[in-house]
């Protein structure tokens, strides 16, 4: 599914215990990306408002970048997970490497790739 249909949003100002939604379309200045889980969202109803397309009741996946543009790498205090290498300029062409594996925590079966703005 497209990140746009998974309520994809860039985040910045990550700190111990949180982060802020950056808003806007550009990856510049973003420390990471937040999007809903394409696996757990299967069969759930879709919703939208003026700016966002989302899946009702689906959980979110947060990925911080190893190579943010115009922002510092998020500190380990903000999130202990590894950092992903990103390329692209917006939600529509964002690519992350390596794959995103959510299966280790239990309860989620998503292990996939974000390529050219699509989570598969
Ligand atoms: Zn999931």
The DSSP string of 12-57 is EEEETTEEEE--SSB-TT-SEEEEE-TTTTTTSPEEE-SS-EEETT
What does the pLDDT average to over 16-22?
A: 94
57: region left, alpha or beta (phi > 0 left; psi from -120 to 50 alpha): left
Write down the residue that tokens 């300029």 correspond to.
89
Give 6 Cα–ligand 1 centroid separation in angstroms: 12
pLDDT over 90 for what percent of the chain? 88
Question: Binning pLDDT at 50, 70 and 90, where does residue 55 land?
Answer: very high
Distance 100 CA to ligand 1 centre (A): 11
- The answer, yes or no, to whether residue 106 has pLDDT greater than 80, is no
Which pLDDT score is estimated for 91? 96
Whether 73 and 31 have beta carbons less than 8 Å apart is answered as yes
Does residue 30 contact residue 23 with C-beta atoms inside 8 Å?
no
What would the mean pLDDT of 70-87 be, rounded to a whole number?
A: 94
CA of 45 to the centre of ligand 1 (A): 15
Residue 84 binned pLDDT confidence (cut-offs 50, 70, 90): very high
- Give the distance (Å) from ligand 1 centre to CA of residue 88: 24
Mean pLDDT rounded to a whole number for the chain: 95
Q: What's residue 105's pLDDT?
A: 77
C-alpha of residue 22 to centroid of ligand 1, in Å: 23
Rounded to whole angstroms, how far apart are CA atoms 84 and 40?
22
pLDDT at residue 117 above 90?
Answer: yes
Q: What is the pLDDT of residue 112?
A: 97
């Amino acid at each position: 599914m497209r990140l746009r249909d998974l309520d994809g949003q860039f985040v910045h100002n990550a700190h111990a215990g949180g982060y802020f939604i950056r808003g806007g379309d550009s990856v510049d200045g973003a420390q990471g990306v937040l999007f809903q889980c394409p696996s757990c969202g299967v069969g759930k109803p879709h919703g939208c408002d003026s700016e966002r397309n989302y899946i009702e009741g689906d959980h979110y996946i947060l990925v911080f970048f190893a190579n943010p543009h115009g922002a510092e790498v998020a500190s380990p205090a903000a999130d202990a997970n590894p950092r992903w290498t990103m390329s692209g300029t917006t939600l529509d062409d964002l690519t992350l490497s390596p794959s995103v594996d959510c299966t280790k925590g239990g309860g989620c079966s998503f292990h996939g790739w974000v390529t050219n703005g699509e989570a598969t």
